[in-house]
Amino acid sequence: MTVDTAAARGLLLDLIARRSLTPDDAGCSQLLAEALAPYGFEHEWLNHNGVTNLWSLRRCGRANAPLVVLAGHTDVVPTGDLAQWTSDPFVPSERDGVLYGRGAADMKSGLAAMTCAAQAGAQTDLNIDLAFLITSDEEGPARDGTRYVAEVLRQRGTQPDYVIVGEATADEQIGDRFIVGRRGSIGCNLTVHGVQGHVAYPHKADNPVHRVLPALTELAATIWDEGNADFPPTSFQISNINSGTGATNVIPGQAEVVFNFRYAPCSSAEQLKQKVIDCLDRHNVRYSADWWHTGEPYYTPAGRLTEAADKAIGQVTGHKPLHFTGGGTSDGRFLAPLGAEVIELGPVSASIHKFNEHLKLDDFDALCAIHAALLRELSQSLG
């Protein structure tokens, strides 16, 4: 299985040139669909609430063949101040063997690499059914993309056996690690209610900032769990505190606090939520809370998929990769509950969401080879 790296690079350039800010797909999925169609992939568009979702399936012809899903997103985060970029983020630019552009690492390179690896695999005797799940909603609310398609698949009884998400996962060099699990995420928009008044007459007011600070101090100091052999401990982080009227002599009537948990499997979202409620009640905080839960943790233990990834990376780079569970969330959290083994494997993540996002073109070529080798190794192990 040899990937046409020149064609793969061309596809990547075409993808980066499309201004696909969440949830605008900007024609990226159509471009990928056109690249896959000559290789036996049949497309189904599962668009929902303005989000573009492509489900593209190629059957190998073998009865009860395992289903391998290659998953990713075409949407990118905003560019920020264009003056901070050395070149137009939607005009892919190569300098000294490095390609610059929004989405170069997160994750149009992953999509291009998986697409060209699938093209190469389709010309061999792969004995797996192969599908793509491509969405334009990963960087946004993530309600109408992979989450929605996963529910459609569940209702149909479609059971993915293995899922490879093309997110940027490498740390310092291509293939040095891939992700086998993610922590769960639960957060809260907390509104603390007080009584507005004059700062000179505090006995006639109730300062919501003073009221909530002892509770927040306790929450910030709490050890929620110790993690386990595969996951770091659960983390509580306050991301925003806001209060005040703009005047220096007014006690505010309310305060807003935003916080988030990234939690290991040894805690649950309900346990964490209840501990917060108990703490706020102990400190006599009057509040209303808007909780949001964006995903349960998932974990893929050592098995066929991780072993195939280890072998593929070793063949291309010589590395023995780290199996990693850190970082943020991804769409893998919506696919693991379908019963699939899930890993995430892609380019170096150092520049994602930053100005001058980039990747080394040699790394991209290696990534294409890794994905092709991964499909071959997985197919052979299932033979």
List the structure tokens of 179: 């992700």
Give CA–CA dist 175/106, Å, rounded: 16
For 77, 167, 206, the CA distances from 257, given in Å and listed in that order, are 24, 31, 17
Domain end position, chosen among 258, 275, 295: 295
The reply to whether 242 and 176 lie within a common domain is no
**Considering the entire predicted model, what is its pTM?**
0.91
| In a shared domain, residues 14 and 136 | yes
| One domain, residues 227 and 268 | yes
Q: Are residues 54 and 172 in the same domain?
A: yes
Q: Is 19 exposed, middle or buried (0-12, 13-18, 19+ CB in 10 A)?
A: middle
140-to-19, 56, 68, 70, 236 alpha-carbon distances in Å: 15, 22, 25, 20, 22
The one catalytic residue in 75, 129, 296, 357 is 75
Interval 340-349 mean pLDDT: 98
pLDDT digits (tens, 9 = 90+) for 120-147: 999 998 999 999 999 999 999 999 999 9
- On whether both 71 and 160 belong to a single domain, the answer is yes
Categorize the per-residue pLDDT at 329 as very low, low, confident or very high, splitting at 50, 70 and 90.
confident
* 276 and 326 inside one domain: no
The verdict on whether residue 377 carries a ligand-binding annotation is no
Residues 79 and 108 in one domain: yes
List, in order, residues 6 or more apart from 16 with CB less than 8 Å away: 90, 92, 99, 101, 102, 103, 104, 108
Quick one: average pLDDT of 214-234? 96
Residue in 25, 129, 137, 138 annotated catalytic: 138
The answer to whether the annotation marks 319 as part of a ligand binding site is no
> What's the structural domain count of the chain?
2
If you write DSSP's letter for every residue of 284-309 in order, what string do you get? Answer: T--EEEEEEEEE--EE--SSHHHHHH
User: Do both 171 and 313 map to the same domain?
Assistant: yes
CA 201 to chain centre: 50
288 and 334 share one domain: no
75 as an active site residue: the answer is yes
In sequence order, which residues have a C-beta less than 8 Å from that of residue 205 and are 6 or more positions away?
A: 194, 195, 196, 197, 198, 251
What was the pLDDT predicted at 223?
Answer: 97
Over the stretch 243-301, which tens digit does the pLDDT of each residue have? Answer: 999 999 999 999 999 999 999 999 999 999 999 999 999 999 999 999 999 889 999 99
Q: Are residues 10 and 158 in the same domain?
A: yes
Strands 162-165 vs 67-73: parallel, antiparallel or unpaired: parallel
Euclidean distance between CA atoms 134 and 25, whole angstroms? 10
Domain residues for the domain of 231 are 184-295
Q: Is 281 a catalytic residue?
A: no
| 155 and 54 within one domain | yes
Token digits for 183? 């922590």
Query: 55 pLDDT exceeds 90?
Result: yes
> Is 73 assigned a ligand-binding role in the annotation?
yes
Give the pLDDT of residue 327. 85
Residues 173 and 198 in one domain: no
- The CATH number assigned to the domain holding 263 equals 3.30.70.360
Cis peptide before 23 (omega within 30 of 0): yes
